[in-house]
Structure 1
Amino acid sequence: MPATIFDAIIIGSGQAGNPLATALADAGRRVALIEENLLGGSCINYGCSPTKALIATAERLHHLRTAAAVAAPTMPRANHLSVDLAAAVARKDGIVQTMRAGVRDNLTHKHDNITLLAGHAAFTAPRTLRVALADGGSQDLTASLIFINTGTRAAIPDVAGLADSGYLTTTQLLDVKELPEHLLILGGGYIGLEFSQMFRRFGSRVTVIESGKQLLDREDDDVCQGLQAALSAEGIEFVLDARAHRVSRGENGQLTLLAHTSTGERRLRGTHLLVATGRRPNSDQLGLGFAGIRTDDEGYILVNDKLQTNVRGVYALGDIHPGPQFTHLSYDDYRVVRDALLHGRRRSARQRPLPYCVFTDPPLARIGLSEGQAREQQVPYRVATMPVRTIGRAQHTGESQGFWKVLVGDDDRLLGATLLGPEAGEIMAIIEVAMAGRLKYQQLQDMVFAHPTWAEGLNNVFRDLRRGGK
């Protein structure tokens, strides 16, 4: 049977693939969207949405436990409140199912030009795919435009005994309905840190094992130290500069993890083990060799600044290509391609801001250069740091952990900011807009912000700028 011809084929229903499908369909193109797993991609199903829903549960528990700090009525045994984890997971599942249903409705009921196929797609030629359909059989498809949006999965390190230990990925831990007594977390990146605080607040004992000498290797030392201090104050244990080399599970169900550290061998025991050591691309089962599509050594699909692969008409979007893995960047990949194909506007995917947040408490947010990056790139800068506790809003709420750090160039324009403190992501967005508008720092310093808001801190954070880089 000859291949069914479409104008465009999209492999993967993620944060770039879904809006691109609807945009192309609205423009009159016939689109095939193929999804092997769950509609909505990682963000909706096992990333941002479910994780932040459970973090919100943990945050509410923390507020109840600490209500006495602001002289609220004392609740009996407030410090001993524990989570109904099954109920929290059910709430999370309801949110995810609603979002997933919304994606399906948008793709199928509202867009006649979209054909949604459930199954696994693989290339058989540069612009031809064979789809092994979930309900049996197969179908061959061809199009002049093909977009790969298949995302990533958990990267599992090569540690002796790990495969037989019954470890958990973040996807699996999101569905656990009984509280772990002692959760070991292998990996001190932003995913590991968000889960560490979440489960500590749920009531688990938590130990984070990180191979680096500090958490969050892309951040400045003072930022990492500040966040670690805040998390340690809640009872989270950190074992840094530790290289796990063996995991085993005893007859009693207890896990034992052995790690080499700078101070000698460590033997860590727990009931559950979360592996949060990074991601790997879902490119190995796509038949890329039959299309001649190039990848890097890790399997990420190589693209140019227009997100085109080396094969004409084939693009890679979202986490499947090299670079930071964030939902907002995946969505912007869609906009880069949409504007080029439908609106005649060309923009580089490599020349765009990179805002991101770590949703711990206090949260961490950054836009632009860190101080370490400015030094490495030999960019002249001035830097100012301000403790969150000096902001009036912090004094009212009692949320005083953290600090703001801002970098300014010789032309008085903002180079970047790192914010550790309440509403860090929202304040970062203000700074990002100022950077996009090429405002000078004095315009934020003299801006009339409503009192008393967190944003008001922008009037004061630039007060003590000093020459950096020494």
Structure 2
Amino acid sequence: MTTTSPNPNHYDLLVLGSGEAGKYLAWTLSSQAHQRCAVIERRWLGGSCPNVACLPSKNFVHSANVVYDAKHGHSYGIQDAEGVVAMTGVRERKRDMVKGLMDIHAGKFKDFGVEFIWGEGKFVGRKSIEVTGDSGRRVLTAEKVVVCTGSRARVDDTPGLKGAKPLTHIEILELDIVPSHLVVLGGGYVGLEFAQAMRRLGAQVTVIDRNKRLLKNEDQDITDVLVGVLKKDGVKICAETIINEVSGESGREVTLKGTSSGQPVEITGSHILCATGRLPNTENIGLEEAGIKLNSKGFVETNESLETSSEGVFAVGDCAGSPHFTHIAYDDFRIVKDVLLGKPLPPNRRSGRQVPFTLFTTPELAHVGLREHEAVARGIKFRLAKVPMAGFLKTRTIGETTGFAKTLIAEDDTILGFTALGVGAGELLPVVQLAMKRGLPYTDISEMVITHPTLNEGLVSLFSGVPARN
């Protein structure tokens, strides 16, 4: 119900942080339910995704791939392509995109009638937030409050690392030169996307990971092919490597000392990128004053409705421990929106949802559902179908046949999981996801008539190859 309070500092909905879920909640409750909404933000209009994370990084990756294609232009019949890189051009292209996105966001806040408040927000009560900014100090209250403070890159306490002023996913997008040698700490999504992109832009690149293999949660056959691609591109991989000491300064010269497979190792580069995980932005915002509990990893504890331990206060996105994807934050918005609008939620709405992802290397890695090694570990029976990307005939027309797709099929013919490593793999997900969500048999895909030659046509070949039941 919309508040009729004459207090200008009291709202129906108050959101701390303007990330994906938070901004959509404010826009929707204001425009559809005519509620008085405000969003507090200390740094990024619209959150990290349009400013420094998802979209800017993919803009950067695309520039690197264009440069790579130009350098290999002879295969397309281009005789004189040199692919000389000016990083200022790469940076300005990214900045232009971000500016356009910021204009769109500013317009939406205005059009939907949501008050946007710049400043540092801190809880001073269960539903009270003190905001300190250029305009002074205000204490705001609301009927409902949403915490949407996101997460940040983790920089470990390795001796000398913080003093070396390493890059994170934010600073690397603002470089005006191609590093002569980029050392990437971490072989996860962020690390691998930037490692390949920087290598394609001309940098020497070394990836260091403490695990036995990169992307340790993925199936072995997936990581074997992807690591092979990276090595072919010229990326050096140092797995089972632990760094114990860092000296120097990123941007000049840095030296990392540690052990690799138990043997001493020393690596010198010009820049360091930290991509070893993320930390929730839950410190120093007064959560204890609001009675909001955190789990052992510092994320806000929430229930299936994303409500915190403080009634009427919700947490969404990264800070709530949701999988760190913008599309999952958007789904968090949909959950809380329905709660605030009084709509019932189905059981396990949050914990039972699909969590698809795409790694934007070349080739892309896309996945949803159960992985092969997970099914084996849990003793789940399945039938496996696997097709090389060359069997997706569109890949032959563009000369990008590296990789494969595979699917796990249950005893009742429903789809347990799907993984694709190949060009445009992420675009294959929605067809499979819809079948999985509706509990359809895999034959509903194998019997489809799909336009030739498109990437999705290859799904017919994949699902037509599912072995018969024993």
TM-score bracket, normalised by the shorter chain, equals over 0.9
Aligned to 2:30: 25
Q: Which letter does structure 2 place at the counterpart of 1:5?
A: H
Write the distance in 2 (CA, Å) between the matches of 1:417 and 1:36.
Answer: 39
> What are the within-5 Å matches in structure 2 for residues 223-372 of structure 1?
223-249=222-248, 253-342=252-341, 344-347=343-346, 348-372=349-373
**Structure 1 length-normalised TM:** 0.94
The alpha-carbon distance between structure 1 residues 292 and 467, as it changes in their structure 2 partners (threshold 3 A), is farther
2:12 to 4, 7, 16: 7
Check if 1:431 corresponds to 2:432.
yes
Query: CA offsets, 1:284-333, max 9 Å, x none?
Result: 02111111110012211010010000110000011111231000000111
**Aligned residues of 2:18 and 2:148 also touching (Cα < 8 A):** yes
SS at match of 1:454: coil
8 Å Cα contact 2:164/2:249 also seen in 1: no
Distance 1:371 1:104 in 2: 45
Alpha-carbon deviation of 1:464? 4.3
The answer (yes or no) to whether the contact 2:168–2:274 under 8 Å persists in 1 is yes
Superimposed CA distance per residue, residues 61-110 of structure 1 (whole angstroms, 9 cap, x where no aligned partner): 1111222224x1322xx3x42321101101100111110121111112x1
**Corresponding residue number in structure 2 for 1:61:** 67
State the partner residue of 2:90.
Answer: 88
How far does residue 445 in structure 1 lie from its aligned partner after superposition? 1.5
Structure 2 match to 1:418: 419
Q: Residues of 2 paired with 1:111 and 1:454: CA distance?
A: 39
Give SS of 2:179's match.
coil
Structure 2 match to 1:132? 132
Separation of aligned partners in 2, 1:50 and 1:435: 31
Structure 1 residues 40, 389: CA separation in 2 closer, same or farther (over 3 Å shift)?
same
Report how far residue 48 of structure 1 moved: 0.8
1:384 aligns with 2:389: no
d(CA) in 1 for partners of 2:386 and 2:264?
Answer: 38
Aligned 8 A contact 2:250 2:272 in 1: no
Q: Tell me, in whole angstroms, the C-alpha distance in 1 between the residues paired with 2:286 and 2:44.
A: 21
Instruction: Tell me which stretches of 4 or more aligned residues in structure 1 moved more than 6 Å.
Output: none
Match of 1:444, SS? helix
CA distance 1:190–1:38, shift in 2 (3 Å): same
Shift in Å at residue 260 of structure 1? 1.4
Give the root-mean-square deviation of aligned CA atoms.
1.8
Counterpart CA distance in 2 for 1:145 and 1:265 is 55
Quick one: distance in 1 between partners of 2:251 and 2:333? 50
Q: Cα gap change, 1:273/1:456 in structure 2, threshold over 3 Å: closer, same or farther?
A: same
The alpha-carbon deviation at position 196 of structure 1 amounts to 0.5
Residue 14 of structure 2 contacts residue 145 of structure 2 at CA under 8 Å; is this kept in 1?
Answer: yes
Residue pair 1:383, 1:467 contacting (<8 A) in 2 also = no
Q: What TM-score, normalized to structure 2?
A: 0.94
Structure 2 counterpart of 1:383, one-letter code: L
Cα distance in 1 for residues equivalent to 2:445 and 2:417: 14
Tell me by how many angstroms 1:12 deviates. 0.5
CA deviation map 1:402-453 (0-9, x unaligned): 0101110000111110100011011122111121222211221121111112
% of aligned pairs identical? 35
Aligned residues, how many? 460
* Residue aligning to 2:4: none
Cα distance in 2, alignment partners of residues 166 and 317 from structure 1:
30
Counterpart code for 1:437: R
Determine the C-alpha separation between the residues in 1 that align with 2:253 and 2:228.
Answer: 28
SS at structure 2 position matched to 1:460: helix
SS at match of 1:323: coil
Deviations 1:178-231 (A, max 9, x none): 110000000000100000011111110000001111111221111111111111
Question: How far, CA to CA, are the matches of 2:27 and 2:205 in structure 1?
Answer: 43
CA distance in 1, matches of 2:446, 2:466: 12
Q: For 1:252 and 1:325, how far apart are their aligned partners in 2?
A: 29
Contact 1:3 1:140 in 2 (8 A): no
Q: Does 1:443 align with 2:444?
A: yes
Structure 1: which 5+ runs fail to align? Answer: none
* Match 1:107 to one of 98, 106, 109: 109
